[in-house]
């Protein structure tokens, strides 16, 4: 583990994790995350990040002037994380710009509805509508690599299950630390309660209640893709850290996706690629993912 990773671990455990453990208001947590992201995460020079008229709400990322988001081009579609209650295209645009630069492709970060104002299945419905809108605009499923991080990774997996069932599988799929099981049955939730640098275990039940609003089934495959089926899936790459509480949410996806390439890193924070401005491990993971994306598109 790099010196930068050791320093970041100490910082997260001393500051961010305690704040998350005691934050009771999801709207306040949302605003705080957005402020922190503006200060902490910076895209590569030359990246163009902006909405595009006539396309779904969100941010389009053009890593340089040669990668315009035209219907004829291939595309990275990434669903942001934030436990379904926070996060936005703005909080994750720097990470996606870094990934898009490495993949030499445009990327799209859509905006989807968040709980508690819009509980399950709002996010899933939005994800399906976003995909349909992109296809209607001219992108073909074989031109799109789908991905996500944390809750967005779970949402993207749920979307992929839906797409596979109707014969519209994307060219490939990747995820960083996906949250795939809202039944919270993974052993790592207990085993890593004291090791996770970022996520406090004591808030998971509360967050789940915000997301499901007391009515949804936590085992519904539209919110827990661990229980989904994936007929004829594309190539899949999943990254997770050994020390995070969602480790087993990633590892157990080997069940429904037996051919998935699931890579386990060491003692790194949840969704460590978002820290690409500091961590060499984050940059290495983004590089691996970019190469995977290019290989999926070449195969497709």
Verify whether residue 288 is a known catalytic residue.
no
Q: Find tokens 């508690």 and name the residue.
A: 116
C-alpha to C-alpha distances, 89 to 3, 17, 111, nearest whole angstrom: 30, 22, 6
| The 3-state secondary structure of the chain, one letter per residue | CCHHHHHHHHHHHHHHHHHHHHCCCHHHHHHHHHHHHHHHCCCCCCCEEECCCCCCCEEEEECCCCCCCCCCCCEEEEECCCCCCCCCHHHHHHHHHHHHHHHCCCEEEECCCCCCCCCCCHHHHHHHHHHHHHHHCCCCHHHEEEEEECHHHHHHHHHHHHHHHCCCCCCEEEEECCCCCCCCCCCHHHHCCCCCCCCCHHHHHHHHHHHHCCCCCCCCCCCCHHHCCCCCCCCEEEEEECCCCCHHHHHHHHCCCCCCEEEEECCCCCCHHHHCCCCHHHHHHHHHHHHHHHHHHHHC
Residue listed under structure tokens 């579609």: 77
Tokens of 27: 């709207």
Of residues 93, 162, 177, 244, which has the active-site annotation?
Answer: 244
Cis bond upstream, residue 153 (ω within 30): no
| Catalytically annotated residue among 78, 80, 239, 270 | 270
The Cα–Cα gap between 118 and 121 comes to 8
Per the residue annotation, which of 93, 150, 224, 300 is the catalytic one? Answer: 150
Q: Which residues are catalytic?
A: 150, 244, 270
């Amino acid at each position: 583990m790099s010196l930068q990773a050791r320093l970041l671990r100490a910082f997260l455990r001393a500051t961010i994790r305690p704040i998350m453990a005691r934050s009771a208001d999801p709207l306040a947590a949302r605003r705080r995350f957005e402020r922190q992201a503006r200060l902490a995460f910076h895209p590569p020079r030359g990246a163009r990040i902006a909405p595009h008229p006539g396309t779904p709400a969100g941010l389009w990322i053009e890593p340089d002037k040669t990668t315009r988001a035209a219907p004829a081009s291939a595309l990275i579609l990434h669903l942001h994380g934030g436990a379904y209650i926070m996060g936005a295209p703005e909080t994750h645009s720097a990470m996606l710009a870094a990934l898009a630069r490495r993949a030499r492709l445009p990327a799209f970060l859509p905006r989807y509805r968040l709980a508690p104002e819009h509980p399950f299945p709002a996010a899933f419905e939005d994800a399906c509508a976003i995909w349909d809108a992109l296809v209607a605009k001219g992108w073909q499923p074989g031109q799109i690599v789908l991905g996500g991080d944390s809750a967005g990774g779970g949402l993207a997996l749920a979307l992929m299950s839906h797409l596979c069932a109707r014969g519209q599988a994307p060219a490939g799929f990747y995820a960083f630390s996906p949250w795939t099981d809202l039944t919270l049955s993974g052993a790592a939730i207990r085993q890593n309660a004291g090791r996770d640098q970022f996520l406090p275990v004591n808030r998971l039940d509360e967050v789940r209640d915000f997301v499901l609003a007391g009515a949804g089934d936590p085992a519904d495959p539209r919110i827990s893709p661990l229980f989904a089926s994936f007929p004829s899936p594309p190539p899949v790459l999943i990254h997770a850290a050994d020390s995070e509480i969602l480790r087993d949410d990633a590892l157990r996806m080997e069940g429904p996706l037996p051919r998935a390439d699931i890579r386990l890193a060491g003692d790194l924070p949840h969704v460590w690629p978002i820290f690409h401005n500091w961590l060499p491990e984050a940059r290495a993971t983004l590089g691996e993912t970019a190469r995977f994306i290019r290989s999926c598109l070449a195969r497709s």
